[in-house]
């Protein structure tokens, strides 16, 4: 008797619609809860003016950091030796051997173009050679 009454009165479709409504509500609730931190941050900072981003030096300008001045070209040189010449002052300042991570950080600091790709190319060209324990040597 019980299942026959469910079938006759569209009980299965009503159960499906009810479950769909509940699941949709739970999804919307979880999305709202996951974004509440943005609302709280906005509410806490409502009286503050938006901070302006510090201007980074653009390509084609001279950059001076830690008493080292680099003239960064408008375009990255295609010749690996010209690119190595851009990195030479940074390597000279660090000494030998040095950590590749430190050279990368300095390249980013001086706004050199594509430091990750450039360091990979310098390694492939043999200009940077590993010394073990994460240390590298400059071969130029």
pLDDT in tens, 26-59: 999 999 999 999 989 888 888 876 666 554 444 4
Q: So what's the pLDDT on residue 9?
A: 84
Q: Indicate if the alpha-carbon torsion angle 62, 63, 68, 73 is positive or negative.
A: negative
Q: Are residues 114 and 82 in the same domain?
A: yes
CATH number of residue 102's parent domain:
1.10.10
108: pLDDT strictly greater than 90: no
Domain that holds residue 22: 2-44
Mean pLDDT in the chain?
Answer: 78
Q: So what's the pLDDT on residue 97?
A: 82
65 vs 128, residue with greater confidence: 128
Q: 111, 63 in Cβ contact below 8 A?
A: yes
Residues 6+ apart with CB under 8 A from 118: 76, 83, 87, 107, 112
Helix (H, G, I), strand (E, B) or coil at 75: coil
User: Cα 42 vs. chain centroid, distance in angstroms?
Assistant: 24
- Residue 67, in any domain of the structure: yes
Both tokens of 54, joined, read 């510090």
Q: Are residues 39 and 69 in the same domain?
A: no
Both tokens of 83, joined, read 């690119």
pLDDT (average), residues 4-32: 92
Q: So what's the pLDDT on residue 122?
A: 81
Q: Are residues 133 and 95 in the same domain?
A: yes
Q: Confidence class of residue 73 from pLDDT cuts 50, 70 and 90?
A: low
Q: Which of 10-19, 20-29, 76-85 has the highest average model confidence (pLDDT)?
A: 20-29
Tokens 């830690």 sit at which residue?
A: 66
- Residue 57, in any domain of the structure: no
């Amino acid at each position: 008797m019980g299942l026959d009454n469910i079938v006759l009165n569209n009980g299965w479709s009503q159960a499906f619609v009810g479950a769909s409504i509940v699941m949709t509500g739970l999804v919307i609730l979880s999305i709202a809860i996951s974004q509440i931190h943005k609302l709280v941050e906005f509410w806490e900072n409502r009286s503050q003016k938006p901070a302006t981003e510090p201007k980074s030096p653009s390509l084609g300008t001279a950059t001076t950091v830690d008493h080292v001045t680099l003239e960064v070209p408008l375009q990255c040189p295609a010749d690996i030796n010209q690119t190595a010449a851009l990195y030479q002052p940074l390597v000279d300042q660090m000494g030998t051997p040095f950590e590749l991570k430190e050279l990368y950080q300095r390249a980013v600091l001086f706004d050199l173009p594509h430091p990750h790709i450039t360091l990979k190319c310098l390694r492939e060209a043999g200009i940077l050679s590993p010394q073990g324990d994460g240390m590298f040597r400059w071969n130029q």
